[in-house]
Chains A and B, each alone.
Chain A
Amino acid sequence: MSDDGPIAEGGAALVCNGLAYSFGETRAVDGLDLSVTAGEVFGLLGPNGAGKTTAIRCITTLLPVPAGMVRVLGHDAARERMAVRRLLGYVPQQLSADAALTGRENVALFARVFDVARRERADRVAQALEAVDLTEAADRMASTYSGGMVRRLELAQALVSAPRLLMLDEPTIGLDPIARTSVWDHINAVRAATGMTVLVTTHYMDEADQYCGRVALMHRGRIRALGTPEALKADLRDRRGDGAKPTLEDVFRDVAGSGLDAQGGEFRDVRRTRRTASRVG
């Protein structure tokens, strides 16, 4: 891990080349090419079943990389799994904090599994909780937290290991608008303070427009459009030429076309998303 410093400066934090993954006959990710610059907030958008979560699972080493290449800060996700995991902070889509522990204990568990030395563990856990504004609630059981607080706690769990690449899979799903803003404010504050790269997937186009430096629109396993939200919108406006100001949602609709319902994700994903939403909300 001696080489993560220089690469992090201005280089690419994450590179995917021709990443492909199939579940049986279904090609969930079908030749994904992606390059995330160090220090940016990159949004991966797409309809249900576009392959976002599968791509994230390949990048986070949860799934193997059967075809193509994934490099996280220069480390190959297929061969150097441990090195990649040490560089990643991952917040899955589902609820991942343990309700039977206090906030502090939840974060301390992740400090332990990331080999934080005993003498700095308490300080590091306190700083991670401070970064997401949970210092006062730290010793309450996580089961008493509100949806937004749970998300922030999960963020603290991911931050405690000082990751260079933060992967957030639908961080604001099922949250009310105020909690969503709060989660994003904390993501941005931490990113500004630590300079880490953030890769986020979301369904909320307004969020992507507001908070992401660059976005990639994914559909049927591939990137169909890539750029800053402004550039994508301007591009669509020029192509339409009717003077109306398109939103990112229009760009999304333009890219995904009408076939949105054709392959709207597995039943299991829907069930999981709903359950997450109901538990968080």
Chain B
Amino acid sequence: MSAVPAAPHPASADPVEPGPAADRGLDLLLVPPRARTGWRVVPARVLAMCVVELQKLRHDRTELYTRAVQPALWLLIYGETFTRIRAIPTGGIPYLDYLAPGLIAQSAMFIAIFYGIMIIWERDSGILTKLLVTPTPRTALVTGKAFAAGVKSLIQAIVVVVIAALLGVALTWNPLRLLGVGGIVLLGSAFFSCLSMTIAGIVLTRDRLMGIGQVKPPSQAI
């Protein structure tokens, strides 16, 4: 509990007992926080949404692992097979090296699209409703969600890079280039989640969404 200066008696354990806020150690709940204004609002909201996503990932890494399965299978089975049989023209580079960047893009896109669509679930529950009654401009909410998807994709991209490195894919270790990859993944995911949020905003119900889910971009074409 925060230190309440000169509180006449300690915070009461009995919640029903009325009394001035300071007595119960609730002095901060009387003072509205000072509002951020101007350009600082959007970055602050984006940060808040990204923090939430990181906290969720920290509590439950299952999604991270299950999403790693598909790229791992691609690399291990398709990658190894096609490297041997050389069925796909890759312009002289090993098929695994050819495949790995595509897998990063694919995972990022999938995560982003599903993340954007999750907004339908949040709309059905009260989570979104409650956020809409906070001093968060609608643009900041969408931007925040988009970058939260980006953060999620970025973490997934790191997983794919690690798997690829373990399989001996010839990766560049130039930090600037890896940073560039990070930037592209972040922005690309932000874009795709905005796209799916737009679709979610148009269809509004889950049932109709299933139809749209069928016409996903042909990701298998990598």
Contact across chains for B1 and A101 when beta carbons are under 8 A apart: no
Contact across chains for A192 and B30 when beta carbons are under 8 A apart: no
Contact across chains for A101 and B56 when beta carbons are under 8 A apart: yes
The B-contacting residues of A in range 1-51, CB under 8 angstroms, are 1
Give the Cβ gap from A126 to chain B, nearest Cβ, in Å.
6
Interface size counted on chain B using CB atoms at 8 A: 48
Contact with B along A172-194 (1 / 0, CB 8 A): 00000000000001101110111
Contact across chains for A114 and B28 when beta carbons are under 8 A apart: no
Residues from chain A with a CB closer than 8 A to the CB of B132 are: 62
The B-contacting residues of A in range 76-97, CB under 8 angstroms, are 82, 85-88, 90-97
The B-contacting residues of A in range 83-126, CB under 8 angstroms, are 85-88, 90-98, 100-102, 105, 109-117, 120, 123-124, 126
Q: Contacts A101-B55, A185-B16, A194-B30 known; A90 to B130 CB distance under 8 Å?
A: yes
Docked pose: A86 CA to B133 CA in angstroms: 8
Contact across chains for B26 and A193 when beta carbons are under 8 A apart: yes
Contact across chains for A186 and B15 when beta carbons are under 8 A apart: yes
Residues from chain B with a CB closer than 8 A to the CB of A194 are: 21, 26, 29-30
Contact across chains for B125 and A95 when beta carbons are under 8 A apart: yes
Residues from chain A with a CB closer than 8 A to the CB of B52 are: 98, 101, 105, 109
Q: Within the complex, which residue of A94, A132, A161 is in contact with B32, where a contact is CB–CB below 8 Å?
A: A161
- Closest B residue to A89 by beta carbon equals B133
The A-contacting residues of B in range 15-31, CB under 8 angstroms, are 15-21, 23-31
The B-contacting residues of A in range 150-172, CB under 8 angstroms, are 154, 157, 159-164
Docked pose: A123 CA to B132 CA in angstroms: 25
Q: Which of A86, A102, A141, A164 has the most B CB atoms < 10 Å from its CB?
A: A86
Contact across chains for A1 and B32 when beta carbons are under 8 A apart: yes
Give the Cβ gap from A28 to chain B, nearest Cβ, in Å.
17
Contact across chains for B33 and A131 when beta carbons are under 8 A apart: no
Contact across chains for B25 and A127 when beta carbons are under 8 A apart: yes
Residues from chain A with a CB closer than 8 A to the CB of B33 are: 111, 114-117, 120, 124, 161-162
Docked pose: A117 CA to B135 CA in angstroms: 15
Q: Contacts A86-B35, A161-B32 known; A127 to B134 CB distance under 8 Å?
A: no
Interface segment out of the listed B43-51, B165-173, B182-190, B212-220: B43-51
Residues from chain B with a CB closer than 8 A to the CB of A1 are: 32, 35
Contact across chains for A189 and B16 when beta carbons are under 8 A apart: yes
Docked pose: A95 CA to B128 CA in angstroms: 10
Give the Cβ gap from B150 to chain A, nearest Cβ, in Å.
18
Q: Within the complex, which residue of B29, B32, B127 is in contact with A127, where a contact is CB–CB below 8 Å?
A: B29
Residues from chain A with a CB closer than 8 A to the CB of B23 are: 193
Contact across chains for B129 and A92 when beta carbons are under 8 A apart: yes
Contact across chains for A162 and B31 when beta carbons are under 8 A apart: yes
B11 at the interface (CB under 8 A from A): yes
Contact across chains for B21 and A193 when beta carbons are under 8 A apart: yes
Contact across chains for B126 and A162 when beta carbons are under 8 A apart: no
Docked pose: A86 CA to B34 CA in angstroms: 10
Give the Cβ gap from B26 to chain A, nearest Cβ, in Å.
5
Contact with A along B110-131 (1 / 0, CB 8 A): 0000000000000011110111
Q: Which of A96, A110, A164, A185 has the most B CB atoms < 10 Å from its CB?
A: A96
A206 at the interface (CB under 8 A from B): no
The A-contacting residues of B in range 125-167, CB under 8 angstroms, are 125-127, 129-137
Residues from chain A with a CB closer than 8 A to the CB of B17 are: 189
Residues from chain B with a CB closer than 8 A to the CB of A82 are: 135, 137
A-B contact pairs, 23 of them (CB 8 A): A1-B32, A85-B133, A86-B35, A91-B130, A94-B124, A109-B52, A110-B130, A113-B131, A113-B134, A113-B136, A123-B28, A127-B29, A130-B11, A130-B24, A141-B59, A157-B130, A159-B29, A162-B33, A186-B15, A189-B16, A189-B17, A193-B20, A194-B21
Which B residues form the contact surface with A (CB < 8 A)? 1-2, 11, 15-21, 23-36, 41, 44-45, 47-48, 51-52, 55-56, 59-60, 124-127, 129-137
Which A residues form the contact surface with B (CB < 8 A)? 1, 60-62, 82, 85-88, 90-98, 100-102, 105, 109-117, 120, 123-124, 126-128, 130-133, 135, 141, 154, 157, 159-164, 185-186, 188-190, 192-194, 272, 275
By Cβ-Cβ distance, the 7 closest A-B pairs, closest first, are: A96-B126, A192-B18, A94-B126, A123-B2, A112-B48, A92-B126, A90-B133
Knowing that A93-B126, A110-B134 are A-B contacts, what are 16 other residue pairs whose CB atoms are under 8 Å apart, sorted by A's residue number? A1-B32, A60-B133, A62-B129, A86-B32, A98-B127, A100-B60, A109-B51, A117-B33, A124-B28, A127-B27, A130-B11, A132-B15, A162-B28, A185-B16, A193-B19, A193-B29
